[in-house]
């Protein structure tokens, strides 16, 4: 029995692992969120940002991945706002 591969799509998410920043991140403007893909460090605490899959929330090591190595979800190109 093989599980059918679900045609799931997602995107790379960048988050700061510091809980104190999560509030600030929630208030981030859409204009700023568009540039998020280029950010390397948290603008609120200067910690290096953590890269994760938006679908399964697993950590990723490479922002050039086309598919999530954990859930097989396809990443849409760039930081498009839908």
Binding-site ranges for Zn ion (CB under 5 A): 16, 18, 21, 42, 44-45, 47, 53, 55-56, 68, 70-71, 73
* Nearer of residues 71 and 78 to Zn ion, judged by Cβ: 71
What's the closest the beta carbon of residue 77 comes to Zn ion, in angstroms? 16
DSSP H stretches of helix in the chain: 19-26, 30-34
- 36 C-beta neighbours (distance < 10 Å), count: 16
Q: Which of 41, 6, 2 is nearest to 14 (CA)?
A: 41
* Nearer of residues 41 and 78 to Zn ion, judged by Cβ: 41
């Amino acid at each position: 029995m093989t599980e059918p591969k679900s045609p799931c799509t997602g995107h790379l998410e960048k988050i700061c692992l510091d809980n104190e920043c999560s509030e600030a991140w929630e208030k981030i403007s859409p204009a700023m969120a568009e540039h998020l893909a280029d950010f390397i460090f948290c603008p609120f605490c200067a910690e290096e940002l953590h890269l994760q899959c938006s679908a399964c929330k697993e950590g990723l090591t490479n922002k050039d991945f086309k598919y999530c190595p954990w859930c097989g979800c396809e990443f849409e190109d760039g930081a498009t706002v839908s």
